[in-house]
Structure formats: C-alpha cells, structure tokens
Amino acid sequence: MRQQEIIISRQLEKDLEQALGRQTYDRLFVLTDETTHGKCWPLLSGFPFMRQAEVLTIGTTDEHKNLETLAAVWTALGEKGGTRHSLLVNLGGGMVTDLGGFAASTFKRGIPYLNIPTTLLAMVDAAVGGKTGINFNGLKNEIGAFAPAASVLLDTEFLKTLDYKNLRSGYAEMLKHGLISDEAHWAELVGFDLEDVDYRRLQDLVGRSVAVKEDIVARDPYEQNIRKALNLGHTAGHAFESLALQEGRTVLHGYAVAWGMVCELYLSCLREGFPKDKMRQTADFIKTYYGTFAIDCKEYEALYQFMTHDKKNTAGHVNFTLLGDTGDIRINRTADKEEIFNMLDFYRETMGC
C-alpha cells in the first residue's frame, strides 16, 4: 500500500492548490456533510481553483455511514459526470473521510481522493492510515478497504469551530497514541487541560500524534502485526458504540474508545502487568472529561456478542491489544467470556455506573 502524503498545513489555499496540482483529473468533486458544508466549504469555495468543483452533501453523524449513503454518493458521482479519471476531496470528519474514501476506492474501480479532515478525531485517526469503510448490519466499519488518500491536509484552524464534545472525541485517539508510544508523551496528554484548550500546544500534540500513527502504518500497512497496536480500546469501544446504536443513544467514536481503554487497561493490568497507577490516572482523566456510558449487568451478554463479531478476532476468540506498560505493546491477546464480564464489572465500578 502506498504511503499517504501528510501535510501539516498553515496556508490551506497554497497547500491545497499544490496537492491538487500533483494530480491529473478531468472533474473535481467535494464531499461534505451538512455541517461541514455550512461551516467549512465556504472557506474552500473562495479559492479560484475550487470554483468548478461539484459539491456532494450527505447527512451528519455516524448513523449515515451506511450502504444507503454510499450508494447515494456513487449515484451522484455518476449523474454528475464522474469518470475513472475524476478526483474526490473529502471535507469533513471521520464519517466523511471513511465513507468518501470507500466511495472513491470503489467508484469506476477506484479514483484518487484527498482528505481534508475538519475534526480532531479525523485528523489523528480516521483520515490518516488508509482505512476506509461503512457500518453494516449493525456493526462498526464492517465493510471497507485499505485505500490511502493521495494527500491528507491537516489544518488545526478548523478545530476552533469544533464543539467540546467532538474535540474530546478526537483527543481520546491521541491519548491512545500516547499509551502505545512512550511515557513522556502519555504524561503530557493526561496533563493537558481539556477545559481551557491551548490551541497552539494542541497543534504540536496533533503533529506528534499523527507521527505515531504514520510510523506504525508505514511498518505494517495491512494490519498484519504491529498496526494492531492502534486497536487499543477499540474491541470494547466498538461494542459500546454498537450497543449505543442499537439502543438509540448514539455516542461519539472517541468517547466509546475512551471507555474501551478503561476496560482494556484493566485487562492489561490483570494479564500483562500494566502499572496500576497509570491505569488509575488514565481512567480518572477519562472519567473527568468523558463521563460515563451507563450499562448494567443485563447488557453484558449483548456487549460480549458485539465483541465476538469484531473483525480482529481469530478462530472464535475475542482479540485485544493490551499493554505491559506505556509503549510495551502486546498484540493478539484473547480473553474468555468470564474475563470480559469481570472487565465490565471493573468498568462499572470505576466509572460509577
């Protein structure tokens, strides 16, 4: 898989013009959702080289990351004259970059695309690394492909328009990157004030976070080995997301990952000797800034069943990425049903469910 070009942009017009100039295309399309069409597209629409772009707009929130929306994007590309030589720019959060990347990688057997992520979550996670996809059959990211963008432009100016919940959602993935990299990076992340955000410092932290993911993806582009480190918090987190979707109480992805990390750091302590003080400090940070996803013991079975459908599983075993310490990654760890139920007990006790 070819490596994406990551551009930390401080002059979006110049950087985007140069990125587009490195591509050959007959028609230019821009995919937005209803929110980014109103808040972010006006910034790009004034650039002279964007005036001929066809804009496609889809619904906001993860519930639109489905086959119906994907088909609508394919249809719009076809009806507006898209060819196998066209180019798609995805302007939005992780839902837009995931779905738009998959639409581009499958339309006419694949057209090139660029990502301009507008949320912190998309900047440090969804838009980087080449994973694309949609939710299907009640499961997160069940259908998709590895198909990297030609370029990813990261401009943290977009973050100043972001509400605090979406900012914190993205920060959860940064916290994960700190846990899988080194103690110093983890320590500065758990010491960051998410109530009074220092955007200059946040920009530096975003750059470091993206570098952590880039390094791992370059070493293992198709998730055969070390890239599984990026799954920390996601086995339990995706189960929380799926349960929330089923029960009609949709949660943001990063919040679910944060709660998933509480669960999986407990397993890391139990199984791999992860330091209890670091687990407690991380869990306290998460409880302070992310609150609690309330569950009771009657929902354990449903959560367990969601975990058994996770794509990372092998031979019927629920697979986790765990840690021996910050930066000490233990992939392909499994847990049985009893251990998972104990993990959920710990989550409820720690988070005050």
pLDDT in tens, 137-190: 988 889 999 999 999 999 988 888 889 999 999 999 999 999 999 999 999 999
* pLDDT over threshold 80, residue 11: yes
**Mind listing the pLDDT tens digit for each residue in 46-72?**
999 999 999 999 999 888 999 999 999
**pLDDT score recorded for residue 90:** 98
Q: From the candidates 37, 64, 238, 333, which is the catalytic residue?
A: 238
Rounded to an integer, the average pLDDT of 86-115 is 97
Q: In whole angstroms, what separates CA 234 from the centre of its chain? A: 10
Asked if 57 and 30 touch (Cβ cutoff 8 Å), the reply is: no
Which CATH number is correct for 5-161, 3.40.50.1970, 3.40.50.150, 3.20.20.70, 1.20.810.10? Answer: 3.40.50.1970
Rounded to an integer, the average pLDDT of 99-108 is 98
Q: From the candidates 51, 109, 160, 200, which is the catalytic residue?
A: 109
**pLDDT averaged over the chain?**
94
Q: From the candidates 37, 166, 223, 333, which is the catalytic residue?
A: 223
Any catalytic annotation for residue 223?
Answer: yes
- Please choose, from the candidates 310, 316, 308, 293, the residue with its C-alpha nearest in 3D space to the C-alpha of residue 340: 308
Any catalytic annotation for residue 109?
Answer: yes
Q: From the candidates 176, 227, 278, 330, which is the catalytic residue?
A: 227
CATH of region 164-351: 1.20.1090.10
* pLDDT over threshold 80, residue 314: no
The first and second tokens of residue 288, run together, are: 């302070």
Max mean pLDDT range (52-56, 136-140, 217-221, 245-249): 52-56
**pLDDT score recorded for residue 2:** 66
Rounded to an integer, the average pLDDT of 70-92 is 98
Percent of the chain residues topping a pLDDT of 70? 98
Any catalytic annotation for residue 85?
Answer: no
The first and second tokens of residue 125, run together, are: 């996670």
Residue 36 bridge partners (DSSP) = none
* pLDDT over threshold 90, residue 315: no
Asked if 235 and 206 touch (Cβ cutoff 8 Å), the reply is: no
Residue of higher predicted confidence among 298 and 311 = 298
Sorted by where each begins, the domain ranges of the chain are 5-161, 164-351
**pLDDT score recorded for residue 221:** 84
Any catalytic annotation for residue 253?
Answer: yes
- What is each CA distance from 241 to 159, 218, 252, 260, in whole angstroms? 24, 28, 8, 10
Any catalytic annotation for residue 349?
Answer: no
Q: From the candidates 90, 135, 166, 231, which is the catalytic residue?
A: 231
Q: From the candidates 37, 64, 65, 253, which is the catalytic residue?
A: 253
Q: From the candidates 141, 173, 185, 319, which is the catalytic residue?
A: 173
Asked if 201 and 208 touch (Cβ cutoff 8 Å), the reply is: no
Any catalytic annotation for residue 234?
Answer: yes
* pLDDT over threshold 90, residue 1: no
The three-state DSSP-derived secondary structure of the chain is CCCCEEEECCCHHHHHHHHHHCCCCCCEEEEEEHHHHHHCHHHHHCCHHHCCCEEEEECCCHHHCCHHHHHHHHHHHHHCCCCCCCEEEEEECHHHHHHHHHHHHHHHHCCCEEEEECCHHHHHHHCCCCEEEEEECCEEEEEEEECCCCEEEECHHHHHHCCHHHHHHHHHHHHHHHHHHCHHHHHHHHCCCCCCCCHHHHHHHHHHHHHHHHHHHHHCCCCCCHHHHHHCCHHHHHHHHHHHHHCCCCCCHHHHHHHHHHHHHHHHHHHHCCCHHHHHHHHHHHHHHHCCCCCCHHHHHHHHHHHHCCCCCECCEEEEEEEEECCEEEEEEEECHHHHHHHHHHHHHHHCC
- Give the confidence band of 320 by pLDDT, cuts at 50, 70, 90: very high
Q: From the candidates 140, 177, 234, 330, which is the catalytic residue?
A: 234
5-161 and 164-351 have identical folds: no
Q: From the candidates 64, 131, 140, 228, which is the catalytic residue?
A: 131
Any catalytic annotation for residue 213?
Answer: yes
The pair phi, psi for residue 344, each rounded to 5°, is: -70, -35
